[in-house]
Amino acid sequence: MVNIELKNAVKNVLDQLAAVMSQISEKDFKKPIDTLNNATVGQHIRHTLEFFTCLLDGYINGVVNYDKRNHDKGIETDKSQALTTLSGITSFIEKVDENHYFKLEADYGIDMELTSSIETNFNRELAYNIEHAIHHMALIKIGIQAICPHVDMPANFGVANSTVKYNKSQSA
């Protein structure tokens, strides 16, 4: 069975991304940002969403390989396409009930192909994708603050839950 807390955490992360995306203009979505080495908000969102789509493909096909992302320019330059992709991911995750087991493939070679195959499961990869998304959300937050500070960011956008809990314990 898929862990309900993980599903809720994914929904929270994707809802936060959607809330922020809805507030920025199409122009700002694809604007190169100096503080992000000229990357765009759209590129970070595309990267984040494609990790989720790789996971969903792996769930269906039995192998997930994050190295073989599509790098879909449409997702990183068209905010409505990114929102549609995000919505599709949310729908899929809401419907998944079985903690399906499959293989994770990764190529750790630089000068030659060194593909490793590792046993994994949907819950484990969902947890990984949550942490990966939060990491990129922190970068997205920096970028948005640099180019459109008027955006109302969710309180803990780009902050890991463990950090949120730690900060609360320090202020208590």
Residue 35 resides in a domain: yes
Show the tokens assigned to 171.
Answer: 């202020």
Quick one: pLDDT at residue 109? 78
The rounded percent of the chain whose pLDDT value lies above 70 is 100
Q: Which of 72, 93, 79, 82 minimizes the C-alpha distance to 6?
A: 93
| pLDDT tens-digit series, residues 74-130 | 999 999 999 999 999 999 999 999 999 999 999 887 877 778 999 999 999 999 999
Q: What pTM was estimated for this model as a whole?
A: 0.93
3 state SS of 119: strand
Q: How many domains does the chain fold into?
A: 1
Residue 170 resides in a domain: no
Quick one: pLDDT at residue 110? 80
Q: Which of 145, 129, 30 minimizes the C-alpha distance to 81?
A: 30
| pLDDT tens-digit series, residues 26-48 | 999 999 999 999 999 999 999 99
Determine the structural domain holding residue 92 and report its residue range.
4-162
Give the mean pLDDT of 145-152: 95
Residue 135: pLDDT over 80: yes
Give the mean pLDDT of 157-170: 91
Residue 167 resides in a domain: no
* Contact criterion met (CB below 8 Å) for 130 and 1: no
Residue 31 resides in a domain: yes
* Contact criterion met (CB below 8 Å) for 150 and 25: no
Sheet holding 63-64, edge to edge: 63-64, 101-107, 115-121
* Contact criterion met (CB below 8 Å) for 21 and 85: no
| CATH value at residue 107 | 1.20.120
Residue 168 resides in a domain: no
Residue 110 resides in a domain: yes
